[in-house]
Amino acid sequence: MLIELKDINKTYYGAQPLHVLKGVTLGIERGEFVSIMGASGSGKSTLLNILGILDNYDSGEYRIDGKLIWNLSEKEAANYRNRLIGFIFQSYNLIGFKTAVENVELPLLYQGVPRKKRRQMAMDYLERLGLKEWAGHYPSEMSGGQKQRVAIARALITKPSIILADEPTGALDSRTSVEIMELLSELNRTENMTVIVVTHESGVANFTNKIVHIKDGMIGEIEANARHDASPFGAGGIMK
């Protein structure tokens, strides 16, 4: 079991305490392609933050590859994020004043990889994603799909165990959405990469092999979706 969540609870203490996650238990095997689906306010973003070691949980147990993720110092957390998890965000979250290749090599910078090797690896990944010619361009000069692919390259470059995608198609048109989802699916198939997609779109979830429904902070139905017929994008794959 790559990811083990056991009875995770999370409460936000504001003016009114908000119990967001109410005992979430979930296991994800290595090489799975999973989506976590839920409406906004269902707690899926909180779950994603906990999965991505971006946030702490109040009680329960979260293990990656057997390692307990609990009470980590900021430095340890940063280190785990850097080496274990590749993030893909809805808004790409590329750094605007860095070129595509500089964005991709950034995680390696924090690992202390030498400059030449870093640049080489980043170029390799960009080439694999068909963006070699765009390496020297700034994010503002690229389309949404291109930007998201740069972000995917950045997520892949540290060879993480898990790819965490938070609404990866949220800002893309449906044709590009399909491209991106196919790319993730291909990564899962060919490289046996564990991919977790958080979304509220059934069309996106349909690309994954397992759909975890989350509602009001609790895990609901977990459906296998081997045939990808749960609820496809509309006719011809154009539905949003």
Site residues for other proteins per CB under 8 A = 45, 49, 52, 54-55, 74-75, 78-79, 81-83, 87, 89-91, 93-98, 106-107, 109-111, 115, 154, 158, 166
Task: Report the interhelical angle of 174-191 vs 144-156 (nearest 10°).
Answer: 20
Query: Closest CB to other proteins among 94 and 178?
Result: 94
The tokens for 188 are 């899962």
Any idea how long the chain is? 240
Instruction: Using CA atoms of 18, 210, 195, 193 in order, give the dihedral in degrees to the nearest 10.
Output: 150
Query: Closest CB to other proteins among 158 and 194?
Result: 158
Of 67, 41, 62, which is closest to residue 214 (Cα–Cα)?
A: 41
Query: From the CB of 3, what's the least distance to other proteins, in Å?
Result: 18
Query: Closest CB to other proteins among 105 and 209?
Result: 105
Give the strands of the sheet with 218-224, arranged side by side. Answer: 85-88, 162-166, 194-199, 33-37, 210-215, 218-224
Of 47, 79, 91, which is closest to residue 219 (Cα–Cα)?
A: 47
Do 135 and 100 touch, CB atoms closer than 8 A? Answer: yes
Beta strands 85-88; 162-166: pairing state:
parallel
Query: Closest CB to other proteins among 74 and 229?
Result: 74
Query: From the CB of 203, what's the least distance to other proteins, in Å?
Result: 22
The tokens for 97 are 């004043």
Cα–Cα distance between 210 and 228 in angstroms, integer? Answer: 9
Query: From the CB of 48, what's the least distance to other proteins, in Å?
Result: 9
Query: From the CB of 124, what's the least distance to other proteins, in Å?
Result: 18
Query: From the CB of 178, what's the least distance to other proteins, in Å?
Result: 23
The tokens for 219 are 């895990």
Query: Closest CB to other proteins among 103 and 177?
Result: 103
Query: From the CB of 166, what's the least distance to other proteins, in Å?
Result: 7
Query: Closest CB to other proteins among 118 and 210?
Result: 118
